[in-house]
Chains A and B, each alone.
Chain A
Amino acid sequence: MQNTNYLYPKGLKGWLTSTDHKRIGVMYLIAIMVFFLVGGILGGIMKLELAQPGQQVMDAQTYNGLFTVHGIIMIFLVVIPGLSAVFGNFFLPIMIGAKDVVFPRLNLLSFYIYIVGACIAVLSQFAGSGPPDTGWTFYAPYSLESDTNVVMAVFAAFVLGFSSILTGLNFIVTIHRLRAPGMGWFKMPLFPWSLYATAWIQVLATPIIGITLLMIAAERFLNIGFFDPTLGGDPILFQHLFWIYSHPAVYIMILPAMGVITEIIPTFCQRKVFGYQAIVISSLAIAGVGYLVWGHHMFTSGMSDLSRWVFSLLTFIVAIPSAIKVFNWIATMYKGSIELRTPFLYTLSFIFQFMIGGITGLILGSLATDVHVHDTYFVVAHFHYIVFGGMGFAFFAAIHYWYPKMFGRMYNERRANWAWGVVFSGFTLLYFPMFILGLQGMPRRYFDYLPEYTFGHVLSSIGAAVLLTGLFMMVHTLLAGRNGKVAPANPWGGKTLEWTISSPPPLENFVEVPTITEGPYEYK
């Protein structure tokens, strides 16, 4: 019996050629965790440079390359695929009662496209004329003029876009076609729902960045001047096209995170999720409205007053469904029997950080205040609160929540809780001072600063060290969990389908395809 789960038979070749969604999910997990740690260490080196005014460990050009590669790795290789590639692949089919995704071979192909894209991104750092120094946004006209290796990095992002599109396509069709008998749309758990909304954004927004990046390449190789004013183009147009994708991409990151949180809260409160339909509709609303707010990245780059008004208004509107979710989570906890286990600690800190990140987002979405804090550390703090404090913490919550299911073992919970404490304190110490620094006028992307910003920077650098320590504690605890206690099928008392099968799941998930008769969160 022991050897019938998906982890057997062992052997590298069997893993690398497997079309099993669970194995692909685990391969993504390993790749993404490696890139996350690399990106994190690069961030740590940046904080080392910023620990004191003046030059510490590197010159300005190196710093430019460093924040560019930190951004490219974290955005394109970690948080955009992140939750949907790892936990979506592993748990979407199980949670809807299917044996696999609808196109398993396509799924493996998108994994390899991801790996190829990742290799090109890494190569762009070493090959050619030096690491790109444009920032992950590749803003024109600098990205057209910089003599560093921009085209290769751009091409890496283009390839990674393909992987993202194919994963999204696979999930959409899987959810349409493979739900278990009886699982109507409104009996589907909320993590699959959030993946569904995400997948549509992946499919509908990613091609725009694809064509934009191709235009950059054409401009550099063929002198076709779309964005370069000397060739007749318009650099602001690049910003529009870039954010038409890259703002929805923020929702590609955060929607699955919200889905994970929505799964964890009912389990650890043993209570039916509050407002199931409101959560579904708000996911779809975020996906829809999120498409129309890109202009708020460009309030200071030259736009008509009318369009600034409209983009600001839409930005406020997209905050409403996000807030609805927060109310739903809190209402679910109300009068629940709350158990403070490790995944729930990460979940609580997610909600706390997501609210700070969200509300500071509205400060940036207001026209008058944005002019003051635009391109300062305030923006850096805001999006790290959302992307790391939100998506990152949801990723940690997910890995602690599903670890026993994925690997059939329990990690040491006491050590995991300690790691959480260190990660949370380090995070706060690292990023909260950045809000203050930003309000005081510290510009982003600078490798040096005036002495009056020293205190905030020192705090932030100490926070970075604490955070990295915490992350290594967390990873160590998880890796050590391989030899932990054997996990039961349902360690947390969850109700969704993944908890009805053994841990780790058998090869095709279900011996018998389940028939669904009630909603996913029917706690007593």
Chain B
Amino acid sequence: MENHSAHSEHRDDEGSRLGMWVFLFTEMILFFGLFLVYAVFRAKHADDFHIAAQQFNVIIGAINTIILLISSATVAMSITAIQLNDRVKAIRLLWITIGLALIFLVNKYFEWGGKIDHMLYPGSDLVTSLKQGQILFFGLYYFMTGLHALHIVIGVTLLAYIASQVKKGKVNANDHVLLENGGLYWHLVDLIWIFLFPLLYLIT
């Protein structure tokens, strides 16, 4: 029985990276479906989208964008650190990344909370009394940023797990493909936000 679960050890970093890239394609296409919906409704209700987007605070959005960009840099630095065999620095940089992600989520929490206090959530009396395109815009806003926030949470969990593996020495200067893949995932989460930010906040 034992020999069935423990195949002869086979390590293929190139394969793992390729697998991660293929997985990232699927994530991009997941969001692509939403961008498609956004594009269709924006084309149909350009004016409503314009009005609804003015409810959003560009400053908070911009701060969050900068936070995520920095966090992408820190995770990349962490990979360099492990390549240079500096485990302590790698772990520290990972925790900085996670901290930045949490700040992002806190900002998001206040932003959502503020909207909800102003009765701007799907199904509220205020929103249902708005014009069609505006209802759709708020729906898309919550759905897209909500799904993105879910990805942030998954990313944080993943990075925390990787940090523990670095600490145990399972991820080290010779074998760091797990950290690289975690970094790739984090860049993707960042990249998606780079699209969400202009679509929801900037194009008004």
Within 8 Å CB of A19, what residues of B? Answer: 4-5, 7
Say whether B53 faces chain A, with CB atoms less than 8 Å apart: no
Instruction: Produce 1/0 per residue, A321-339, CB < 8 A to B.
Output: 0000000000000000000
Within 8 Å CB of B31, what residues of A? Answer: 211
Within 8 Å CB of B139, what residues of A? Answer: 218, 224-226, 231-232
Say whether B22 faces chain A, with CB atoms less than 8 Å apart: yes
Task: Tell me if A165 and B135 are in contact (CB < 8 A).
Answer: no
Task: Tell me if B29 and A208 are in contact (CB < 8 A).
Answer: yes
Instruction: Produce 1/0 per residue, A305-347, CB < 8 A to B.
Output: 0000000000000000000000000000000000000000000
Instruction: Produce 1/0 per residue, B1-21, CB < 8 A to A.
Output: 101110110101011001100
Task: Tell me if A215 and B12 are in contact (CB < 8 A).
Answer: no
Most chain A beta carbons < 10 A, residue from B14, B19, B25:
B19
In the bound assembly, the distance between CA atoms of A61 and B15 in angstroms comes to 50
CB nearest to B18 among chain A residues: A173
Most chain B beta carbons < 10 A, residue from A9, A13, A210, A224:
A224
Task: Tell me if B15 and A14 are in contact (CB < 8 A).
Answer: no
Within 8 Å CB of A23, what residues of B? Answer: 4
Within 8 Å CB of A17, what residues of B? Answer: 1, 4-5
In the assembled complex, how far is the CB of residue A181 from the closest CB belonging to chain B, in whole angstroms?
A: 15
Q: Of the 9-residue stretches A97-105, A270-278, A432-440, A489-497, which lies at the interface with chain B? A: A97-105
Question: Is the contact region of chain A dominated by helix, strand, or loop, or is it mixed?
Answer: helix
In the bound assembly, the distance between CA atoms of A172 and B135 in angstroms comes to 41
Instruction: Produce 1/0 per residue, A170-181, CB < 8 A to B.
Output: 101100111000
Interface residues on chain B, number (Cβ under 8 Å) = 40
In the bound assembly, the distance between CA atoms of A212 and B18 in angstroms comes to 27
In the bound assembly, the distance between CA atoms of A191 and B22 in angstroms comes to 21
Question: Which residues of chain A in 89-107 are interfacial with respect to chain B, using CB atoms and an 8 Å cutoff?
Answer: 99-100, 102-104
Instruction: Produce 1/0 per residue, A205-217, CB < 8 A to B.
Output: 1111011101100
In the bound assembly, the distance between CA atoms of A508 and B8 in angstroms comes to 9
Task: Tell me if A177 and B136 are in contact (CB < 8 A).
Answer: no
Task: Tell me if B25 and A177 are in contact (CB < 8 A).
Answer: no
Across the A-B interface, give the 10 residue pairs with the lowest CB-CB distance, nearest first. A223-B123, A211-B33, A224-B139, A14-B1, A232-B132, A207-B30, A207-B29, A232-B135, A177-B15, A18-B4
Residues of chain B having any CB pair with chain A under 8 Å:
1, 3-5, 7-8, 10, 12, 14-15, 18-19, 22-23, 25-27, 29-34, 36-37, 40-41, 44, 122-123, 128, 132-133, 135-136, 139-140, 142-143, 147
Residues of chain A having any CB pair with chain B under 8 Å:
9, 11, 13-14, 17-20, 23, 99-100, 102-104, 165, 169-170, 172-173, 176-178, 203-208, 210-212, 214-215, 218, 222-226, 231-234, 237, 241, 244, 507-508
